[in-house]
């Protein structure tokens, strides 16, 4: 772009307009928007390149397993299209006649060799004559076909096998008998045309084999078309899988989590269909791989650096449905199992689930304590055979949950519980829909972010959740990857230590502190 016609306070830097001085705001805004678009496009391209470069065979197999129904559907569509194309085509029959070109030669070997060479050269010319307008017009007149040579030019072909003196005339037509008649007539008319222009005593064309009426169509080639349909379906299906993998921003593996947030992985939990019926770890489940996973989470959490003595841990997620309440509840259970004085607080005042999971009365709890309608001692309930886990349910529904959680009363409540318990686990709403968890995260010792690896949560969701936490000064302790596909992680060997104690299947022990 030429610069001599620009205002004095504007220069061209190769990417956009850089403005000098106050009067250049419109230029500066346009330049900023353009640079943002360029940067966004560059980030998208770099993301695609990174995903392709980091994708290995195991990732490809995982994606194929995840999208196998789509691949099968595309193959079926390809097969259906090939079948439709095949069976909608008019069957064509192909008939062939053969001519032999001979040259009169002397008795000597030299004469015979020269005659053969002459015949091979003549064959190429005769092949061209076979599909000439003169020959095809003669065929059309002989067979009384409408359209003349133009109607036959697409139906008749002539070829010669390499290093032979044979000419093959082929004709295709929906009528097999007519195809044979056209091929035989073409051979006869070619002989007549050659006899008119060549010396019959030197060169002679003769019918070596007449065309027979074909009993099967030469096209469409059913097997070949169906095989091509399946093959193209496979190509398109795998291409679709690769494209979805490149464009997919959903969290499906630990590597996806690492691309979204720079934080340590505190724990990983594979998808378990039985969790729906048994959400909490019970007595018969304390030595299972799931329970061992929560022990590992408990251990990792203890090694995180948190300022101060007591730990108040907020457990949240980016969006709903990632399993944060299950993680918070079972983490509190495993902390209590180890002898830690732990309080589980349900601060999700919009969609509370802790009391439901543990079989407790959720009508009295946090909301009542914050509004001074009930004391903390009366609101806390004991859970488990020995009442080791203390639980503060959400309480009755309120119209102003954000105001309650952000009030000085909540800050005082956290300070008070930290003096009575070694660890306070707070289950909160998701970070993106509401501000509650960010508010609590700023008041607590740190935040554990639960990220579901089922693909519904995107890397953008996780990144924005981290930004929300950083905006209020909350400390991110680490990430728990939940609902990850078993095929996406390597096999783990859990140690099934013989530990005493456990929690009953129906642990509703009643009683309040």
Q: What is the mean pLDDT of residues 112-130?
A: 76
Query: Residue 89: how many CB atoms within 10 A of its CB?
Result: 14
Spell out the alpha helix ranges (H) of 109-221: 109-130, 133-143, 148-152, 176-197
Q: Are residues 336 and 478 in the same domain?
A: yes
Give the pLDDT band (50/70/90) at residue 17. Answer: very low
Under DSSP, is residue 252 helix (H, G, I), strand (E, B) or coil? coil
- The C-alpha atoms of residue 304 and residue 296 are separated, in whole angstroms, by 13
| pLDDT higher than threshold 80 for residue 496 | no
Q: Are residues 342 and 463 in the same domain?
A: yes
Q: Are residues 198 and 98 in the same domain?
A: yes
Among 31-40, 204-213, 489-498, name the most confident range.
204-213
Considering the domain boundaries, does residue 417 fall inside one? yes
Q: Are residues 180 and 315 in the same domain?
A: no
Under DSSP, is residue 380 helix (H, G, I), strand (E, B) or coil? coil
Q: How many structural domains does the chain have?
A: 2
Q: What is the mean pLDDT of residues 79-93?
A: 90
Q: Are residues 286 and 381 in the same domain?
A: yes
> How much is the pLDDT for 52?
61
Count of CA atoms in the C-beta half-sphere (13 A) of 48: 10
> How much is the pLDDT for 487?
59
| pLDDT higher than threshold 50 for residue 90 | yes
Q: Are residues 191 and 274 in the same domain?
A: no
- The C-alpha atoms of residue 307 and residue 321 are separated, in whole angstroms, by 31
Considering the domain boundaries, does residue 69 fall inside one? no
Q: Are residues 288 and 385 in the same domain?
A: yes
| CATH number of residue 358's parent domain | 3.40.50.300
Considering the domain boundaries, does residue 510 fall inside one? no
> How much is the pLDDT for 44?
54
| CATH number of residue 109's parent domain | 3.30.70.1130
Q: Are residues 157 and 285 in the same domain?
A: no
* Sign of the CA dihedral with 101 first, then 106, 108, and 114 last: negative
Averaged pLDDT score across all residues of the chain: 80
> How much is the pLDDT for 512?
38
Taking only the tens place, the pLDDT of each residue in 161-173 is 887 889 999 999 9
Owning domain of residue 418: 260-488
Q: Are residues 430 and 298 in the same domain?
A: yes
Considering the domain boundaries, does residue 60 fall inside one? no
Among 307-311, 344-348, 400-404, name the most confident range.
344-348
| Contacts for 239 with CB less than 8 Å, ≥ 6 apart | none
- The C-alpha atoms of residue 56 and residue 464 are separated, in whole angstroms, by 28
Give the pLDDT band (50/70/90) at residue 46. Answer: low
| pLDDT higher than threshold 70 for residue 185 | yes
Q: Are residues 199 and 268 in the same domain?
A: no
What the block records as the tokens of 194 is: 């050659």
What the block records as the tokens of 346 is: 């349900």
> How much is the pLDDT for 455?
84
CB 356 within 8 A of CB 276: no
Taking only the tens place, the pLDDT of each residue in 316-342 is 999 999 999 999 999 999 899 888 899
Q: What is the mean pLDDT of residues 244-270?
A: 84
> How much is the pLDDT for 499?
35
Planar angle of CA 500, 501, 505, nearest 5 degrees? 140
pTM over 0.85: no
Backbone angles phi, psi at 475, to 5 degrees: -95, 125
Taking only the tens place, the pLDDT of each residue in 368-417 is 999 999 999 999 999 987 888 999 999 998 888 888 998 999 999 999 99
Taking only the tens place, the pLDDT of each residue in 440-457 is 999 898 999 999 988 889
Q: Are residues 294 and 437 in the same domain?
A: yes
Q: Are residues 372 and 462 in the same domain?
A: yes
DSSP letter string, 305-351 = --SSSSEEEEEEESSTTS-HHHHHHHHHHHHHHTT--EEEEE--SSS
- Lowest average pLDDT, out of 119-123, 291-295, 334-338, 383-387, goes to 119-123
């Amino acid at each position: 772009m030429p610069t001599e016609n620009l205002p004095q306070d504007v220069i061209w830097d190769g990417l956009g307009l850089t403005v000098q001085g106050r009067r250049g705001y419109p230029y500066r805004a346009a330049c900023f928007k353009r640079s943002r678009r360029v940067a966004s496009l560059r980030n998208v391209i770099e993301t695609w390149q990174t995903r392709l470069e980091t994708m290995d065979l195991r990732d490809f197999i995982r994606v194929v397993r995840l999208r196998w129904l789509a691949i099968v559907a595309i193959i079926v569509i390809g097969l259906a299209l090939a079948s439709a194309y095949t069976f909608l085509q008019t069957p064509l029959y192909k008939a062939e006649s053969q001519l032999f070109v001979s040259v009169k030669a002397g008795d000597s070997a030299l004469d015979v060799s020269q005659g053969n060479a002459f015949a091979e050269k003549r064959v190429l010319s005769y092949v061209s004559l076979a599909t000439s307008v003169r020959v095809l017009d003669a065929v059309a007149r002989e067979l009384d076909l409408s359209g003349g040579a133009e109607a036959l030019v697409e139906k008749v072909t002539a070829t010669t096998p390499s290093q032979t003196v044979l000419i093959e005339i082929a004709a295709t037509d929906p009528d097999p008998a007519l195809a044979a008649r056209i091929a035989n007539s073409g051979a006869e008319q070619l002989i007549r045309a050659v006899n008119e222009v060549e010396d019959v005593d030197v060169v002679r064309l003769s019918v070596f084999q007449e065309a027979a009426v074909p009993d099967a169509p030469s096209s469409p080639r059913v097997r070949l078309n169906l095989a091509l349909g399946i093959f193209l379906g496979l190509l398109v299906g795998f291409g679709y899988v690769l494209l979805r993998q490149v464009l997919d921003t959903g969290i499906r593996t630990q590597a996806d989590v690492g691309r979204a947030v720079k934080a340590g992985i505190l724990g990983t939990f594979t998808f378990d269909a039985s969790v729906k019926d048994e959400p909490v770890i019970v007595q018969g489940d304390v030595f299972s791989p799931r329970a061992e996973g929560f022990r590992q989470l408990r251990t990792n959490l203890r090694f995180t650096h948190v300022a101060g003595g007591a730990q108040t841990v907020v457990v949240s997620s980016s969006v709903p449905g990632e399993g944060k309440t299950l993680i918070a509840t079972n983490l509190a259970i495993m902390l209590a199992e180890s002898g830690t004085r732990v309080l589980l607080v349900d601060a999700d005042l919009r969609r509370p689930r802790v009391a439901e999971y543990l079989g407790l009365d959720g009508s009295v709890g946090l909301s009542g304590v914050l509004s001074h309608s009930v004391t903390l001692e009366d609101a806390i309930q004991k859970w488990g055979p020995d009442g080791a886990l203390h639980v503060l349910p959400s309480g009755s529904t309120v119209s102003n949950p954000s105001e309650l959680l952000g009030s000085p009363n909540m800050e005082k409540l956290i300070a008070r519980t930290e003096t009575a318990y070694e660890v306070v686990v707070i289950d909160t709403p998701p970070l993106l829909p509401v501000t509650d968890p960010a508010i609590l995260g700023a008041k607590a010792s740190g935040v554990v972010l639960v990220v579901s690896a089922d693909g519904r949560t995107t890397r953008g969701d996780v990144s924005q959740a981290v930004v929300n936490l950083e905006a209020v000064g909350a400390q991110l302790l680490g990430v728990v990857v939940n609902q990850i596909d078993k095929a996406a992680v390597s096999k783990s060997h859990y140690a099934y230590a013989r530990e005493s104690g456990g929690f009953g299947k129906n642990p509703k022990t009643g009683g309040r502190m």
